[in-house]
């Protein structure tokens, strides 16, 4: 039974990152929408999603660190939803007289970038599933 679980983990493990990254991209899309909707709201500060930094620090999942102190933490703790954060950036910055710091050009560029990123991730998940399908059908 444990072997089956291991096998499923091996099969779908590579997709886990893509799934999380897709979640993050979806949230980024929502955040950009929020920024665009509030482009004319006085005092509004733009929000961004912190995910890539967290992913970088936790992508070394296959290694196990040597713990010589009780304060040491695991290398590559799993990525939970709690690790994806929405932050308000540059709260003191405003380049408009109404205190708003949304730059519509930046937002539109991020929106386009994020859409492509999401599509890439969806395609990679799809490719992963196709590979598994090929294996199941013995390459036929």
Nearer to other proteins, 60 or 86 (CB): 86
By CB under 8 A, residue 47 contacts other proteins: yes
By CB under 8 A, residue 48 contacts other proteins: no
- Closest by CA to 28, choosing from 101, 82, 87, is 87
By CB under 8 A, residue 7 contacts other proteins: no
Burial class of residue 35 in the structure, from the number of CB atoms within 10 Å of its CB (0-12 exposed, 13-18 middle, 19+ buried): buried
By CB under 8 A, residue 51 contacts other proteins: no
**N-term to C-term CA, the chain:** 28
Angle subtended by helix axes 2-37 and 104-136, to nearest 10: 160
Q: Which range binds other proteins by CB under 8 A, 3-11, 21-29, 54-62, 70-78?
A: 21-29
By CB under 8 A, residue 129 contacts other proteins: yes
By CB under 8 A, residue 114 contacts other proteins: yes
By CB under 8 A, residue 22 contacts other proteins: yes
Nearer to other proteins, 13 or 65 (CB): 13
By CB under 8 A, residue 52 contacts other proteins: no
Q: Are 101 and 45 in contact (CB under 8 A)?
A: yes
Chain contacts with other proteins (rule: CB under 8 A): 22, 25-27, 29-34, 36-42, 44, 47, 81-82, 84-86, 104, 107-108, 111-112, 114-115, 118-119, 122, 125-126, 129
């Amino acid at each position: 039974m444990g072997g089956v679980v291991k096998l499923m983990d091996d099969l779908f493990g590579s997709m886990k990152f893509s799934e999380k990254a897709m979640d993050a991209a979806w949230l980024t899309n929502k955040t950009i929408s929020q920024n665009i909707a509030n482009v004319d709201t006085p005092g509004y500060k733009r929000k961004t999603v912190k995910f890539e930094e967290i992913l970088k620090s936790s992508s070394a999942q296959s290694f196990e660190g040597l713990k010589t102190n009780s304060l040491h933490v695991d290398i590559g703790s799993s990525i939970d939803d709690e690790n994806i954060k929405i932050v308000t950036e540059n709260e003191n910055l405003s380049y408009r007289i109404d205190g708003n710091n949304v730059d519509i050009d930046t937002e539109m560029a991020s929106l386009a970038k994020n859409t492509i990123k999401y599509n890439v991730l969806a395609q990679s998940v799809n490719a992963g599933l196709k590979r598994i399908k090929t294996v199941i059908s013995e390459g036929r």
